[in-house]
Amino acid sequence: MPPFLWEQHCCLPLLPSADIAELARYPLGSYLSVNIGYSRQRTADALALVRQFRRDALADGRFRLVAGLDDLGDPERIALAFDLEDSGPLGGDLDNVEVFHDLGVRSLLPTYNHANVAGCGCLDTEDTGITAYGKDLVRKLNEVGVFVDGAHCSRRTGLDLSACTAVPMIYSHANFAALWDHPRNITDDQARACAETGGVIGINGVGIFLGRNEAGAQAERVAAMADHIRYGAELVGIEHIGVGSDYSFDGADFNAELFANPEAFSESYTKWGPLQWVPPEDLLGLGVGAGLDAELAARGFTEDERTAVFGGNFRRVAEQVWRN
């Protein structure tokens, strides 16, 4: 089993009452990036939430809040950082990048599904790419030391991000459109452009993005994740592939949100029924099934390759992007 798991994106309920202890389903020693807001959250909402999560994590005792690279790899703690899935919570003020960075945000994507002041989203019918503000945002993220993240962005916006960034960019939780043609999945051109920056693509375990959303298809979802990892490794190289499962501890709440607020989503989200996910236990084989690690080993991935996918690759780009 790989010694270190880097989970680039997972989700608790976006509520102060969220139970931080749920994150302990990941093994000690892991790194987790937990979402604190997307297009619906105001600046004050996201700031209040991340401060609450930090207090709860410290009170729990099993977590180490990430300020820099030295906070990774403690075998007795889960390293905890945060991400924003839209630039909306910045409130149009780029100085807020530093405010959120000081509170542990290490990844930010400019647009969540639909166009905003930074660029276009993956569900927009007209794709005009990044805006002038979006370019300024990329420069600010580079300067402060926060991952530029293309997940949920439109295809042209994703390509623009790779052209604008001066350091490696990432797709925190994105699969390949060549294997499953969903608007949330990325093209080969996007993947190549990300890899050319030195970046990493985190493969997710969401059923509708894998093409395996049936309620009983747990093993099939794990196999589909392995398919995307193998495809990505063949397309851009194993050194550019990681894991960002997008597991939602708030699955019931998210499914309710999905159908209550269709303007934030589309039929491409809702027509498959309630969303299904690959849970944390199925990444390293800690649950009832063999798990993703065993699935990759069975396909001939070496221990070194699996170690790179499960943590080494994202850590490498963090060493290039983070400023402390």
Cβ count near 51 (within 10 Å): 14
Question: Which is more confidently placed, 44 or 258?
Answer: 44
Q: What's the confidence (pLDDT) of residue 260?
A: 84
Pairing of strands 241-243, 78-84: unpaired
Asked whether residue 113 is assigned to any structural domain, the reply reads: yes
| The predicted structure's pLDDT at residue 289 | 67
CA distance 271 to 112: 19
What domain count does the chain have? 1
Q: Is the pLDDT score of 254 beyond 90?
A: no
**Per-residue pLDDT at 1 exceeds 70:** no
Residues 2-25, mean pLDDT to the nearest whole number? 94
This prediction's pTM: 0.96
3-class secondary-structure state, position 200? strand
pLDDT of 88 strictly over 70: yes
CA neighbor of 172 nearest in space, from 29, 27, 285, 32: 32
Does any domain span residue 1? no
pLDDT at 287: 66
Is pLDDT above 90 for 117? Answer: yes
Q: Encode pLDDT of 140-178 as tens digits.
A: 999 999 999 999 999 999 999 999 999 999 999 999 999
> pLDDT for 186-231, tens place per residue?
999 999 999 999 999 999 999 999 999 999 999 999 999 999 999 9
Q: What is the model's pLDDT at position 186?
A: 98
In a domain, 163, yes or no: yes
**What's the domain range around 52?**
6-321
Residue 310 is classified by DSSP as: I
pLDDT reported for residue 253: 84
What is the CATH classification number for the domain harbouring 104? 3.20.20.140
**pLDDT mean over 51-61:** 98
Res. 244: pLDDT tops 90: yes
* 67 found inside a domain: yes
What percentage of the chain has pLDDT greater than the value 70? Answer: 98
* Higher-scoring residue by pLDDT: 266, 131: 131
Asked if residue 12 has pLDDT above 90, the reply is yes
pLDDT > 90? residue 251: no
Three-state DSSP class for residue 16: coil
Structure tokens at 215: 């309620």
Residue 295's Cα: distance from chain center in Å?
21
Residue 324 clears pLDDT 80, i.e. is over it? no
- For range 303-309, the mean pLDDT: 97
pLDDT recorded at residue 288 = 62
Q: Please check whether residue 32 lies inside any domain of the structure.
A: yes
